[in-house]
Amino acid sequence: MKQPDLDRFVRERLEPRELPAGLSEAWLTERMKGVAGYSLRLARTLHSERSPYQQIDLYEAAHHGKVLVLDGCLMMTELDEFIYHEMLAHVAAQTVGGPKRAVVVGGGDGGAVRELLKHPTLEHVTLAEIDERVVRLCQEHFPDVACGLEDERTSLHFGDGAAYLEAQPESSLDVVLVDSTDPVGPAEALVTEGFYRQIARSLAPGGVLVAQTQSPFYFPGETVQIHATLQQVFRYTTMFWAVVPAYLGFLWTFCCCSQERDPLAALGGLPEGLHKTLGTRYYSTEMHRGSFALPPFIQACLPEGHCQRAI
C-alpha cells in the first residue's frame, strides 16, 4: 500500500463498520505472565513456518490487517505499525540532527529502515537481522513496511547483530536502533552491558542509540534493568514513550542514549512541522517533545541519575 492507501486503511478502521459475513471464529491471543491477554479476531492464516531461530506466523486479522507473530508474540499489525517505527527512528534521527550512517539491529520487518530513509541526509543504513526468513516473508506480505530494504542506501546483513557491531569501525555511526524482540533466546545478547559498549564505541561524536525497553506495566523489572544497564554505559539515558495499541498495555517505552548529546537539551531545537516534512502519521514535533514527559509512577521506578523531566 502506498501512503494514501495506508491512511485510508487506518481511517476506515477508526470508523464504525460491520464485520464481513462468514468471518472465522479463530482468535489470536497473546498472554502476559498468566495475568492478562490481548486478542485479535482472525480472518485467515497467511503463512506459518519454523525458521532456524523461531516460529513465524502471519495472519490477516478482521480489523488490524496483516499481523506478524514470532514465537507466539505479536510483533506488528498493519493498523498501527507506523506508531512504533516512527517513534523508534525519528526521535533518534532528530536528536542527532542530520544523520548520515545508521544501523538497525533486529527489525526484520523493515519498518525502522523505511522511516530512517525519510531523512535526506542519510547516506547508508544497514539492517542487521539474525533471521533472514523474517525479512523475506515481510518483503512478501508487508511490502509497504519493508519497502526501504530495496533502497540503494540500504544493506542487509543476516547474522548476529552484536557481532556485526563489534566489527564496525570506531566512531563510524550516527544512529543505532535496537529493534529487538523480547529479551529471550538470541535477543538476550541485545540487552547486555557488553553489547551496549560496542554500540557506544561505534557511535560518532554526538551519535545516538535508541532501544525499545518494553512495557512498564507488564515488564517493569525488564524495563528498569535495561535502563540501569544503559546508564552504566552512556552519559545520557532518557526514557520516552508511545501508545502502541497492538502491544498489551498500550504504553511502550524506549530509551534515547548518547555520550555527548542530551536528548532533552535537543528538544528546543526541533524544527516545527516535522510530521509534514517527514510524512508521518504519529510522530510530530509536538509528539517528540511530549514523549519525554513521564508520569511520576514511571519516574519513581527509574535508576537514580536517569535524565528526565516530569509532566
Q: Which phi-psi region, left, alpha or beta, contains residue 92 (left: φ > 0; alpha: ψ -120 to 50)?
A: alpha
Q: Which grid cell is 118?
A: 525519510
Contacts of 181 (CB under 8 A, 6+ apart): 70, 71, 73, 75, 106, 187
Q: Identify the active-site residue in 109, 179, 182, 262.
A: 179
Are the C-beta atoms of residues 274 and 234 closer than 8 Å to each other?
no
**Residue in this structure with the C-alpha cell 519498518, named with its chain if needed:** 111
Per-residue CA distances from 202 to 160, 262, 274 (Å) = 16, 18, 28
Q: Which residues have a Cβ under 8 Å from the Cβ of 29 and sit 6 or more positions away? A: 37, 38, 39
* H or E stretch at 84: helix 81-96
Residues with Cβ within 8 Å of residue 273, at least 6 apart in sequence? 285
Task: Please confirm, yes or no, whether 131 is among the known catalytic residues.
Answer: no
Cell reading at 122: 542519510
Distance CA 104, CA 157 (A): 10
Phi-psi region of 49 (alpha: psi -120 to 50; beta: other; left: phi over 0): beta
Active site residues: 179
